Structure 1
Amino acid sequence: MNARALLCSPNLHSLYTSNRPPEKPTSSRSLRTLKPAPNSLRVWIYPRNRSGVFRVLVRSSDKRESSNSYYVDGERVNRTNGVVSDSPSSIVVPWWEEFPKRWVIVLLCFSAFLLCNMDRVNMSIAILPMSAEYGWNPATVGLIQSSFFWGYLLTQIAGGIWADTVGGKRVLGFGVIWWSIATILTPVAAKLGLPYLLVVRAFMGVGEGVAMPAMNNILSKWVPVQERSRSLALVYSGMYLGSVTGLAFSPFLIHQFGWPSVFYSFGSLGTVWLTLWLTKAESSPLEDPTLLPEERKLIVDNCASKEPVKSIPWRLILSKPPVWALISCHFCHNWGTFILLTWMPTYYHQVLKFNLMESGLLSVFPWMTMAISANAGGWIADTLVSRGFSVTNVRKIMQTIGFLGPAFFLTQLKHIDSPTMAVLCMACSQGTDAFSQSGLYSNHQDIAPRYSGVLLGLSNTAGVLAGVLGTAATGHILQHGSWDDVFTISVGLYLVGTVVWNLFSTGEKIID
């Protein structure tokens, strides 16, 4: 707790006790500033990593001894009408202590999702030398790529229930360390044999499967409604930048140190993140003792998710048409997105004839475009809401762009012969796809804020099914058909999703 939070606390008197520690000699500077007075109160507090002593001059009922100032560690802080005010002589608070704690949580979630996709997409690059070394055909490659989604599918709903009941901090921390260990074990499993590799990849999916529900639960408690689209867009852009980082560095690491180095180096970063997470994050503002009172009030007054969940009203949730619209549209959206996530380097290598290094580096551009457009879309959506547009209309507009944009650009690929134009078309497809972060991905907290973790688990289960089926089906389609067939199926599902979303979705709270 810093000095400003201490002075603003309504329970300041509770910090003073008769069994305080003995007074230690003070500096000459403090002695000159703080004169002994009968109404002087000394308060000792002990934060986690350091101790500090604040000397506070309190107002007395005796007018002759009353004061309109506090002295904190020898610095004067003025008080007017019971409120501590800033002045040139007031204590200087470092910028990192004034940085909003809710955005610290958002940035930590952003970094978790950065690691999430770094550890996921490295296989899409490493699979090329691995398949050459072990003699895997396209069907086997598709099986390996889809095995991640077996575990990912299992923990979507379970992760949502767990996050909504025990708190998102524990669940997200578990997920990151679990998938990091599985990433490190991937080369060992590949050398042991294909069944071991499939199991380890599924285990990795178990860890990443709880990440989205846990994050959604945390942000529903920490982020005010008027900042929702921007915060979610920033967190999800971590996934895109994770893809950028993974696709950019994987070819270099493979070329210099061999394909196992990708898994060892990326997986080890999870321990660094976990250390920061355990020391800086809390599941809700009510559990954070370092949160400033003014920020706590802002969050509590503007967040819909306040009370902890004790039971899940499954029948009520599943009886709402907007919930089913969310589930079905998540399936339609993820079919195309996961195909591009896992197969894009292979497309560049087989169709556009780029080598391994070029395939990895050129795969960066679509994901970089997504990171930029996701944040732009979040800012646009929050601006529209703040200017009086209904949340329902904003969500429909953003998701329609997220469906029709990729559909249009994927249809153009069959008419393009230039590799440069094909890469540009891919980038535009993924860029418009990212507007979905301000559409269906923000909608869980709109319609059921208290159950946002469970609801995201439900809809993302459908999305993962699309990933499993689409990734595996692509391998079989390429054995008997062409990439045009792969893209045609994705376009069809985008169009279906557009119709369903605009007919049945809503941005209003339907489950309290």
Structure 2
Amino acid sequence: MDKKIKNICTGRRLPVRIQLGILAFLGFVNLYIVRSHLSVSLVAMVRHDAAAQATLVSDACGGGGGPTGPVPQDALGNWTSSVLASNNASASTQGEEEEEESTSHQQTGELDWDERTQGFVLSTFYYGYVITQIAGGRAAELYGGTRVFGLSIFVSGILCFFIPFCARMHYLALAVVRFLQGLAQAPVFPAMHAVSSQWVPAEERTQFLGPVYYATSVGVMLAMPLSGLLIDTLGWASASYFAGLAAVVWSAAWFLLTSTKPANHPRISLEEREKIEKSIELAGTSGGVAAQAPWRDILRSPPVWALNAVDFGNGWGLSLFVTQVPTYMRNILGLSIKQNGLMSALPFVARYIGVHLFSQLFGRILRRGLLTTTRVRKVSSVIMMLFPAAFLVAVSYSGCSAEVTIALMCTAFFFNGAVAAAYTSNHIDVSPNYAGTLMGLANTAHNVAAMTAPMLTGFIINRQQTLERWRWVFWTCVPVYVVTEVIFLVFASGEVQPWNFRGQSQELPQQEPDDGDDDDNDDDEEREVGHRSESGALLGPEEAAKTGESLEDRGRNEEDQLPRV
């Protein structure tokens, strides 16, 4: 039996850092339930005017389940009149069957908001979300990542309790609440980077961060069906109350069971504490953090801009899927709302599976010293970016087959799961002391893409829901993916940058002098501090494995001791 499973089954206490990982996983699940439940609630909150729901689709595939090949089109890419007539006739029976159900839903809504108002309310979250990314990262470095992480989720959860009241008051009141939730949630990812730099040994980061960070996919998968069940049973306000309550309960557990550093934790074993502290010191984490970040060095650092670029590119493709593919499924493939919700969740399942597999694979490669950290980040970025680009383009040529379309999307998102080994922890590779700040910068670029891509999609579609127009939308991913990936391949690095130590209480991790001769003392110091590349940058533990003694011997058995989240 695997030793990890044996430890759990025999009642041995999990390492504190793994307990922290489990709590962080649940925190990210809560984060996305709070963030995304309103999208489901709006369906029940708003009165649906049949006239406003008139479709603008000119070439729907006959309600889904159409032919796998392209349906005949004229020179403009629109269905011929005979095909449209056939589609209208085939859809009439289904429309009659759903009329009674849709009428009942229309009667339950209590708010007279048009689609533009609904879109405005939902979008205000992201305007707040962009503002506090960088500031949140610095706050986490200065005051403790666990504090900022927990406080962010707690505040956004408390704001959920105001959603029903503010929605009934005025849509602008709800927009303010959503804006404040965006402000509150923005520091979460930068704060977790700060937590990881203090709590996760360098040789474990790839395997640790992937399953924890991408619990967001689990949050999306849970939010949609769970919110629907609550709304159907208790009314639309219950989804907001549940999201808020879950966040508050989680926050209480988080603050009770975590601390800012291993040295401050009351229940950590001496062995685990020493292991963590020695590992992160060797990887470049200093004992203190400068009150002023070295902004000039950060903004002039090529690896930093490589991270910003690849996060922008990944954010572009991801936002197109999250915001636009449900519309594509409804208007082009003709899927019902119930089918749409299920199909939209499947790619996130595939992505989370990919996160686990790629993080485990590349984590093993790093620990065994088969590739340097830099090469692992670059190889996995190719898988993360170029494979999805190819499959998303294939989606636009999949015709009217819902099955083929979903299969292609799931495959694209499975390969996108390599993000866990590509750049998720690369900010910590580059600068563990300023990882929160770097994550804030990159996440800002990500969200600029998330706001820009839907705007460009609206400009391309322009109320013409045709396969040709959607093909252009999917093709926009190709140049964005390729250009940002090339930038990452050229400038990315897995080495700690010299400015990581600027302004710190200590320039480099130090070894106390040895009483032996000079040669032995030099050898000992090199083994403790790490190695430097030809450029003079401090190498991480994986790169050190290529040049001499590293954490490999110390962490050889970690694979058998570290439970997966």
* Same fold by TM-score greater than 0.5: yes
Per-residue deviation, 1:495: 1.6
| In structure 2, C-alpha distance between the alignment counterparts of 1:349 and 1:256, rounded to whole Å | 26
Match of 2:322 in 1: 341
Deviation sequence 1:190-234 (CA, Å, 0-9, x none): 322232222211111112101101111011111111110111101
2:31 matches 1:116:
yes
Q: 2:288 — aligned with what?
A: 308
Q: Per-residue deviation at 1:116? A: 1.2
Take 2:45 and 2:475, find their aligned partners in 1: how far apart are those partners? 29
Given that residues 146 and 471 in structure 1 are in contact (C-alpha distance below 8 angstroms), is that contact kept between their aligned partners in structure 2?
no
Say which of 371, 382, 391 aligns to 1:409. 391
Equivalence for 1:429 = 412
Residue 469 (str. 1) matches residue 469 (str. 2): no
State the Cα deviation string for residues 246-294 of structure 1 (Å, max 9, x = none).
Answer: 1232333333333333222222101110111111101111111221011
Please tell me whether residue 263 in structure 1 is matched to residue 250 in structure 2: no
Matched, 1:226 2:206: no
Tell me by how many angstroms 1:424 deviates. 1.7
Letter paired with 1:292: S
The 1:101/1:374 distance shift into structure 2, 3 A limit, reads: same
CA contact (8 A) 1:332 1:497 kept: yes
How do 1:359-378 residues align onto structure 2 when only pairs under 5 Å count? 359-378=340-359
Structure 1 match to 2:251: 274
Contact 1:142 1:474 in 2 (8 A): no
Write the distance in 1 (CA, Å) between the matches of 2:470 and 2:42: 19
Contact 1:251 1:360 in 2 (8 A): no
- d(CA) in 1 for partners of 2:44, 2:409: 24
> Are 1:233 and 1:438, in contact at CA under 8 Å, matched by a contact in 2?
yes
Aligned with residue 477 of structure 2, among 476, 486, 490: 490
Asked whether 1:460 is paired with 2:437, we answer no
Whether the 8 Å contact between 1:240 and 1:371 is mirrored in structure 2 is: yes
Whether the aligned pair in 2 keeps the contact of 1:250 and 1:360 (CA below 8 Å) is no
Structure 1 range deviating more: 410-419 or 354-363: 354-363
User: Does structure 2 conserve the Cα–Cα contact (< 8 Å) formed by 1:142 and 1:475?
Assistant: no
Aligned equivalent of 1:183: 160
User: Which digits, 9 at most, give the CA deviation of each residue in 1:383-441, with x for residues without a partner?
Assistant: 11122211011000111111012211110111121112212222122221121121111
In the TM superposition, what is the alpha-carbon distance from 1:94 to its structure 2 partner? 10
* Cα separation, 1, equivalents of 2:25 and 2:173: 31
* Cα distance change, pair 93–470 in 1 and its aligned pair in 2 (3 A): closer
In the alignment, which of 220, 225, 231 is matched to residue 243 of structure 1? 220
Comparing 483-492 with 123-132, greater Cα deviation is found at: 123-132
Alignment pair present for 1:197 and 2:174:
yes
Distance 1:425 1:137, change over 3 A: farther
CA contact (8 A) 2:313 2:485 kept: no
Q: Counterpart of 2:429?
A: 446
**Whole-angstrom CA distance in 2 between matches of 1:177 and 1:282:** 16
Return closer, same or farther for 1:408/1:259 CA change in 2, 3 Å cut-off.
Answer: farther
Change (3 A) 1:340 1:136: farther
Distance (Å, rounded) in 2 between the aligned partners of 1:419 and 1:382: 36
The code of the aligned residue for 1:261 comes to S
CA offset digits 1:430-477 (Å, max 9, x no partner): 221121121111110000011101110111111111122224444454
What 5-or-longer segments of structure 1 have no aligned partner?
1-91
Q: Secondary structure, in 3 states, of the residue corresponding to 1:99?
A: coil
Counterparts in 2 of 1:411 and 1:500: CA distance versus 1, 3 Å? same
Cα distance, 1:497 vs structure 2? 1.6
Question: Partners of 2:149 and 2:172 in 1: how far apart?
Answer: 28
Say if 2:269 is the partner of 1:292: yes
Structure 1 CA distance, aligned partners of 2:409 and 2:121?
A: 24
Contact 2:189 2:439 in 1 (8 A): yes
- Alignment partner of 1:363: what SS? helix
Counterpart pick for 1:504 among 483, 488, 491:
491
Decide which of 357, 361, 370 is 2:338's aligned counterpart. Answer: 357
Say yes or no: does 1:396 pair with 2:365: no
The CA RMSD over aligned residues, in Å, is: 2.2
**Could you say if the C-alpha distance between residues 353 and 107 of structure 1 is closer, same or farther in structure 2, counting changes exceeding 3 Å?**
same
Structure 2 CA distance for aligned equivalents of residues 466 and 185 of structure 1: 29
Q: Which has the higher contact order (CA 8 A, sep 6+)?
A: 2
Q: Does the 8 A contact of 1:121 with 1:341 survive in 2? A: no
Identity of aligned residues (%): 31
Q: What secondary structure is seen at the aligned counterpart in 1 of 2:493? A: coil
Aligned length: 421
Partners of 1:260 and 1:349 lie apart in 2 by 26
- The TM-score, its normalising length taken from structure 2, stands at 0.71
**Aligned residue among 128, 135, 145 for 1:168:** 145
Please identify the structure whose Cα radius of gyration is greater. 1
